[in-house]
Amino acid sequence: MGTHASILLVTAAAGIVIIFSCVIVISLFFHVGKPNQVLVFSGRAHKFPDGSTRGYHFVIGGWAFRWPIIEQVASMELTEMRVNVGTRSAYSKGGIAIDLTAVAHVKVSTMPGILDMAIEHFLGQTRDQIQRVAQEVIEGHLRGVIATMTPEEISEDMLTVVSRVADEALSDFEKLGLQLDTLKVITISDSEGYLTSRGARQVAQMKKEAAEAEAGADAFA
- Summarize the confidence of residues 56-60 as an average pLDDT: 81
Strand order in the sheet with 72-77: 53-60, 37-47, 72-77
CA 18 from centroid of its chain's CA atoms: 45
* pLDDT tier for residue 213 given thresholds of 50, 70 and 90: very low
For the entire predicted model, the pTM comes to 0.74
Q: Are 131 and 81 in contact (CB under 8 A)?
A: yes
Q: CATH 3.30.479.30 in the chain: give the residue spans.
A: 81-197
- Summarize the confidence of residues 112-122 as an average pLDDT: 91
29 versus 162: the higher-pLDDT residue is 162
Q: Which residues contact 143 (CB under 8 A, 6 or more apart)?
A: 87, 90
- Summarize the confidence of residues 120-135 as an average pLDDT: 94
Q: Are 31 and 73 in contact (CB under 8 A)?
A: yes
Q: 3-11 long-range contacts, Cβ below 8 Å, gap at least 24?
A: none
* pLDDT tier for residue 6 given thresholds of 50, 70 and 90: low
Confidence at residue 43, expressed as pLDDT on a 0 to 100 scale: 75
Name the CATH superfamily for 81-197.
Band 7 domain (3.30.479.30)
Read off the pLDDT of residues 132-181 as tens digits, 9 standing for 90 and up. Answer: 999 999 999 999 999 999 988 888 888 999 999 999 999 999 999 999 99
Among 67, 82, 76, which Cα is nearest to 176's? 76
- Summarize the confidence of residues 68-81 as an average pLDDT: 85
* pLDDT tier for residue 210 given thresholds of 50, 70 and 90: very low
- Summarize the confidence of residues 195-199 as an average pLDDT: 55
Q: Does 202 have pLDDT greater than 50? A: no
Residue 79 — φ and ψ, nearest 5°?
-75, 155
Q: What percent of the chain has pLDDT over 90?
A: 39
First to last CA, the chain: 121
Among 141, 183, 136, 143, which Cα is nearest to 162's? 183
Distances (CA, A) of 28 to 23, 61, 74, 218: 9, 18, 14, 88
